[in-house]
């Protein structure tokens, strides 16, 4: 399962989410690097509580959470002006 969130962020910097399945996380980040998008996938790692966890906890489904995890995530400041077409194209 691949969860993408805020992937059109104007300052795209997708981090490694430490609850993600390692092989799937590696696949996503290695693919980004191979395609020339390493600058948008920095690889800093930290855990986050997000919509992907029930897939792992309840059903054992391999999953990866691809998101920049901005401070305005799920707030009223999460607005369209923070998005960019190039970032969406990178993650697509």
Instruction: Report pLDDT for 11.
Output: 86
Instruction: Report pLDDT for 47.
Output: 79
Domain count, the chain: 1
Domain that holds residue 15: 2-91
Q: CA-to-CA distance for 46 and 15, rounded, in angstroms?
A: 8
pTM score of the predicted model: 0.82
Contact predicate 9/79, CB 8 Å: no
More confident residue, 45 or 23: 23
Nearest Cα to 2, choosing from 36, 28, 26? 28
């Amino acid at each position: 399962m691949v969860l993408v969130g805020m992937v059109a962020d104007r300052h795209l910097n997708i981090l490694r989410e430490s609850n993600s399945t390692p092989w799937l996380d590696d696949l996503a980040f290695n693919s980004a690097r191979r395609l020339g998008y390493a600058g948008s996938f920095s690889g800093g790692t930290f855990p986050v509580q997000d919509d992907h966890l029930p897939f792992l906890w309840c059903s054992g489904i391999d999953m990866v959470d691809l998101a920049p995890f901005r401070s305005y995530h799920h707030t009223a400041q999460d607005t369209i002006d923070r998005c960019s077409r190039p970032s969406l194209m990178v993650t697509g």
